Amino acid sequence: MFQRLFALLALSLTAMSPVLAQEPQMNLQRVRLTAGMYQIDAQVAQQPREREIGLMFRKEMPQQEGMLFVFEEPTTQCFWMKNTILPLTAAFVADDGRIVNLVDMQPQTTNTHCSEAPVRYVLEMNQGWFAKKNIKKGVKLGGAPFETHR
């Protein structure tokens, strides 16, 4: 009886928390963004728990995909890579879509990487994606999230 109860409890905890289960979150809402002539298919991490998990445990991500973290208010945002397997670049993005700064982040580290100014958005892409497309600080991203703040 205790084994069955323990198995049910373990199953419940796994269903409640992708972090406990070490499963990537793959079914978040998506938004289409643009960076110059390039299209980005971004998952949207808007709720606190979604932002906390982010891209943890993802083993691969197509080059045109990323994750857009959305916060309630612009503030200095800091990210780290604990439990994140993929090397990523974070674009810290102002309300109008302007990239404030870009930071390369190494997998499985707890080093903090922060925005140079208060931002509401952070877009994570595979490391090197922005550099290969010559997208730098100051470039404006397009898409629905940034249109409401222009």
Residue 22: the pLDDT is 78
Q: pTM for the whole thing?
A: 0.85
Residue 148: the pLDDT is 75
> Is 60 exceeded by the pLDDT of residue 15?
no
44-76 pLDDT tens trace: 999 999 999 999 999 999 999 999 999 999 999
User: Strand 88-93 and strand 119-126: pairing?
Assistant: antiparallel
Query: Quick one: fold of 26-147?
Result: Jelly Rolls (2.60.120)
75: left (phi over 0), alpha (psi -120 to 50) or beta: beta
Residue 39: the pLDDT is 98
> Is 80 exceeded by the pLDDT of residue 10?
no
User: Strand 65-75 and strand 119-126: pairing?
Assistant: antiparallel
Residue 86: the pLDDT is 97
DSSP string, 89-102: EEEEE-TTSBEEEE
Name 10's bridge partners: none
Higher pLDDT, 111 or 18: 111
Residue 9: the pLDDT is 38
Burial of 52 (0-12, 13-18, 19+ CB in 10 A): exposed
Share of the chain above pLDDT 90, in %: 81
User: Strand 113-114 and strand 88-93: pairing?
Assistant: unpaired
Residue 31: the pLDDT is 98
